[in-house]
Every structure is written in C-alpha cells, then in structure tokens.
Structure 1
C-alpha cells in the first residue's frame, strides 16, 4: 500500500520500465510529459498490451501472476515523471489533468 512519485529517463532502445508488480494490483500515471509517450503492459509475464490512454494504466492482481509490468515508450533521453499506486491505494481513475 503505497503512493510513490518517481522519475526515469527513456534509454537508447526507446523504452523504460516504470513498475513491475508481483501478485498485487498497481497503477501508473504519467505526470510529465503528458500525451507524448505510449504505455504498454506486460500481463502475466507474457502478453504485451498497448494501453489506450497514454497517461494512465492499471494492472489487476490476476494480471500480475506470476508478474506484470508497465513500460513507457518514447524518444530517447525523455525524462518521465510519474506516480505509482500499489495495493489498497490503487484508485482505478486518473488523478492529474
């Protein structure tokens, strides 16, 4: 149960893993830059899903067994500021405009 603000820089391959969840629900919301990145989820450690909303996505507990991940894709060197919510703090709705 946590809410954490983090920052990462997109690497040479154009991807950065924002969060890996093992057996618990989680959400990631992009604070900056908005509407610039693409979010993808790796569900059940295998299936990659492209997320419709480029700023927000969630993983349900069942999607994180054995593990799930949320990744951002964008231009190399882009700094991504984002908020992670886990377990009981996952609201399921975006917080930022």
Structure 2
C-alpha cells in the first residue's frame, strides 16, 4: 500500500517506535546508521520479540499485527535514524539495501 522513507531520533529512554501496524503486514529497514541499533517487535500487542537475524531489517506478518504490532529501535540517546517502511501490498519481505 505504501513505501515511505522516514527519520526519527532516539530519545532519552534509548527507545524509539518506528512503526505501528494494525492488521496490515509491514517491514522496516534501517538506512542509517547501519549495524548499530537493536530492533524489537511487539507482536499481537503483547509479546516482545528481539530481532536477532538482521540488525537492519524486520517484518511483521498480518497475523502478528492483530490487534496491533510495533517495530522499535533502541540505541544511544540522540541517534538520528533514517529508515524505510513498507506496508500492505508493497511489502517485499526481503532487505533492499546492501550491507556495504
């Protein structure tokens, strides 16, 4: 449904919500800074899941976003983040950007 490039800054609590999804699949990929943040997901509004496979990319399936799911980043306070969010039919399920 949409592809959006966004920016955010990690606050004093060292945690920033990058995307909230309600009954719609989504992915988040970190553009900058690569390999320095920790991503986590809140699945079905309850279960916390730490992303361990790829430090720069994670996805939420539709079933994981009922009633809602979030993708969050944690890192040093004040860190500026550039990232890409894909939702709905625009989800490709794989990282777009090389590890270089």
Q: In the alignment, what sits opposite 1:69?
A: 70
Distance 1:96 1:12 in 2: 29
| RMSD, matched Cα | 0.3
The alignment partner of 2:63 has SS state of helix
Equivalent-residue separation in structure 1 for 2:39 and 2:55 (angstroms): 6
Runs of 4+ aligned structure 1 residues displaced above 3 Å come to none
| Superposed displacement of residue 7, structure 1 | 0.1
The aligned counterpart of 1:5 is 5
Q: C-alpha separation between the residues in 2 aligned to 1:30 and 1:19?
A: 12
Post-superposition offset of 1:83: 0.1
Q: Which runs of 5+ in 2 are unaligned?
A: none
- TM-score, normalized by length of structure 2? 0.96
The structural deviation recorded for 1:90 is 0.4
Deviation at 1:62, TM superposition (A): 0.2
How do residues 18-97 of structure 1 correspond to structure 2 at under 5 angstroms?
Answer: 18-52=18-52, 53-97=54-98
Query: What is the rounded CA distance, in whole Å, between the counterparts of 1:28 and 1:20 in structure 2?
Result: 11
- 1:21 deviation in Å? 0.1
TM-score of the aligned structures, taking structure 1 as reference length: 0.99
